[in-house]
Amino acid sequence: MADSVPLSGTLRRGLLRGLHRDARSIPASWLYLGVGATAIAVYFFLPATPQSLLYVAIGAVSVTAIFIGTRRNLARGRRLPWYLFGLGLLAQVAGDLVFAFYEISRGHEPPSPSLADLFYLLSLPPLGLGAFLVLRRVGSMASREGVLDTIVVFCGVGLMQWVFFIDPLRHTTFDSRWERIAQMAYPAASVLLLVAVAQLLVGATARVFAYQLLLLSLALWVGANEAYSLDVDQYRGGSWIDALWLSAYVVWGAAALDPSIRGLARRDRRGLPRLTRTRLGLLAAASLTAPAVLVIERISHHHVHAYAVGVGGAILGVLVLFRLAGLVNSVERARRSERVFRHEAQQAQQLLAYQNEQLLELDRLKDEFVSSISHELRTPLTSISGYVEVLLESETDDERRSHLSIVDRNAHRLLGLVSDLLFAARLQDGRLELERDEVDLTRVVSHAVESARPRAENGGVRLDTVLAAVPAVRGEPDRLAQLLDNLISNAIKFTPPGGDVTVRLTATDSTVSIEVSDTGIGVPEAERERLFERFFRSQTALERQIQGTGLGLHISKAIVEAHGGRIGVDSNEGAGTTFVVDLPVAG
């Protein structure tokens, strides 16, 4: 049989709706179902002899399909349950063949019991064993609860089968003892198949297509057997019951042909069966079997099977009690482990609170450290710059004055660093609080530019301003001056002699923009994002030994953001950099 056949688009979509398989072909299983359904339809329109032959043929082809599908879809070592299904159905087909032989050559059904019955009954052990193996693999019996559920269902079904199908045969007259035994064997075997159907129905595994097909075929098979057992004498070849048996053959074959059969071979590891609505319903039905049987027998004035119902009911009651005890135990277990977890959570919480406290303490110590370091550094700096100032006042020699100025300048630079460190430490704590006033940025910018001019001239850099009249912003003048000083100092530092630094001040309705651009060495694209990080120093700055701490831009950004503004950078490597600060207009 071909695995797949190419097909035109529309038809393909129609057939594939709801399926998840390779979209370029019809799956073999669907093809087989289609062909099988047609054959079954044809079956009912045929005269007796071809009808009997077609019955055997459908069975034989399905058995072949099972063997082919198993070999194609399953790895060696995973095939046993499906070979057992094939073997069981092969025995069924053998029985069908005997049946057909009688119908064609003798013109009547075989006597009871016959070789056909032997084959039919022989088919049941492999089928049951196969179903058991599949169920075990998909995890239906992996837990105590799963096994208990199976036994509950088994007892319910067994009681029903005994009362309505098996026991009545004891009081029926048969031609021989063997006939009676054969007839009783069918409903007895059905118990096992019914249990298998019930287990598949509540199975915990993923419902792949092959799973559903297997469930359907077993259900059809059991249904046919039950219908047959209800009225053995009325059964003739060509009855509607044949449709069930034949469908079971076809669906079983299709299941084996479907690639999703592999999903059935994988072990499901979900452990405890969940109490789904189906499972609960099934368990309820099983445990209510005894009273239901009693009521039905009473109403229909049948002989009441008091012993069977009593024993069955008692066993079911005990089983339900066991199941309940299991549930209560697992609730207890869950509660116990919940207590343990809660205790652990509490401990973790306490630890966390303790660590939090320690962190706060560390933070406080760090603050104290930074603040005292800053204090300790400022004290000697006070002496250095104070005495340099004294010396400068009385020094008349130009060279010495120049040297003293250098000491003074560097003392101030050191002071700037100390201030920046203290400021950065406070930023880290989120303690930047502003005193807000209306600030005229034109004034702040001019002042910053003028105080930077000596440094620019020293470095041979031209410093220009383009200032428009701008509305006031709300902020802290000292901080904004610090911001401008940082940006302008940076621009001068990174611009080689002969270059330009330009500070522009412009405004729109809602923002005032400060632009500080230079014709310096520029910032590589990779570094632009990190530029505002604390202590970040660009590679070029390090290579060219341009001094700095990596705090200026970090502080600038914090100042801008504390003012509700934004800072950005644009740069052409080697051609210059522009920092743009947008601040909201006051009011």
Partner 1 sequence: MSGAGLTEPAAVARPVILCADDDPDILSLVSLRLERAGFEVVRVTDGDAALEVIRARRPAVSVLDVMMPRQTGYEVLAAVRGDEATRHLKVILLSARVQKSDIALGIAAGADAYLAKPFRSGELVALVRELIEAG
Which residues sit at the interface with partner 1, rule CB under 8 A?
Answer: 371, 374-376, 378-379, 381-387, 389-390, 393, 411, 415, 419, 422, 426
Work out how close the CB of 377 gets to partner 1 at its nearest, in angstroms, rounded to a whole number: 8
CB of 360 to partner 1, least distance (A): 19
Work out how close the CB of 571 gets to partner 1 at its nearest, in angstroms, rounded to a whole number.
35
Locate all alpha helices (DSSP H) within 171-276, ordered by sequence: 177-202, 209-230, 240-257, 261-265
Residue with Cβ nearer partner 1 (350 or 382): 382
Q: How many Cβ atoms from other residues are within 10 Å of residue 152's Cβ?
A: 24
Token representation of residue 547: 């001094």
CA-to-CA distance for 443 and 514, rounded, in angstroms?
A: 13
Sign, Cα dihedral of 10, 14, 20, 22: negative
Half-sphere exposure of 329 (CA within 13 A, CB side): 8
**268-275 long-range contacts, Cβ below 8 Å, gap at least 24?**
268/137, 268/138, 268/139, 268/142, 268/204, 268/205, 268/206, 269/139, 270/139, 270/204, 271/139, 271/142, 271/143, 272/143, 272/145, 272/330, 273/140, 273/143, 273/145, 273/146, 273/149, 273/202, 273/204, 274/204
Give the shortest CB-415-to-partner 1 separation in angstroms: 7
**Min separation Cβ 440 and partner 1, Å:** 22
Nearer to partner 1, 57 or 384 (CB): 384
**Selection from 212, 84, 210, 204 nearest residue 141 by Cα:** 204
Of the pair 3, 408, the CB lying nearest partner 1 is at 408
Phi, psi (5° rounding) for residue 39?
-60, -40
> In the complex with partner 1, which residue's Cβ is closer, 57 or 381?
381
Least Å from the CB of residue 423 to partner 1? 10
| Residue-level length of the chain | 587
Question: What's the min distance (Å) between Cβ of 386 and partner 1?
Answer: 4
Nearer to partner 1, 358 or 371 (CB): 371
In angstroms, how far is the first alpha carbon of the chain from the final one?
84
Q: Which is nearer to partner 1, 24 or 436 (CB)?
A: 436
CB of 381 to partner 1, least distance (A): 5
Where helices occur in 102-141 by DSSP H, the ranges are: 115-137
Residue number with CB closer to partner 1 (341 or 387): 387
Phi, psi (degrees; rounded to nearest 5) at 563: -90, 5
| CB of 498 vs partner 1, minimal distance in Å | 35
- The DSSP output letter for 532 is G
Q: Which is nearer to partner 1, 175 or 376 (CB)?
A: 376
How near is the Cβ of 370 to partner 1 at its closest, in Å?
A: 11
Query: What is the b/e burial string over 233-249, where b = at least 16 CB atoms within 10 angstroms of the residue's CB?
Result: eeeebbbebbbbbbbbb
Measured at the alpha carbon of residue 562, what is the angle toward residues 494 and 519, in degrees to the nearest 5?
15
Rank residues 354 and 387 by Cβ distance to partner 1 and give the closer one. 387
User: Which residue, 415 or 472, has its beta carbon nearer to partner 1?
Assistant: 415
DSSP 8-state assignment for residue 302: P
Of 383 and 458, which has the nearer Cβ to partner 1? 383
One-letter amino acid for residue 266 of the chain: R
Of 563, 557, 447, nearest in space to 512 by CA: 563
Q: Which two tokens stand for residue 54?
A: 């077609």
Residue 521 tokens, joined: 């060495």
Return the closest-CA partner of residue 483 out of 499, 503, 464, 501: 503
CB of 502 to partner 1, least distance (A): 32
User: Which residue, 349 or 383, has its beta carbon nearer to partner 1?
Assistant: 383
Q: Which is nearer to partner 1, 207 or 400 (CB)?
A: 400
Grouping H, G, I as helix, E, B as strand and the rest as coil, residue 568 is strand
Nearest approach, Cβ of residue 483 and partner 1 (Å) = 17
> Considering the complex, what minimum distance in angstroms separates the CB of residue 382 from partner 1?
4
For 472, phi and psi rounded to 5 degrees? -70, 155
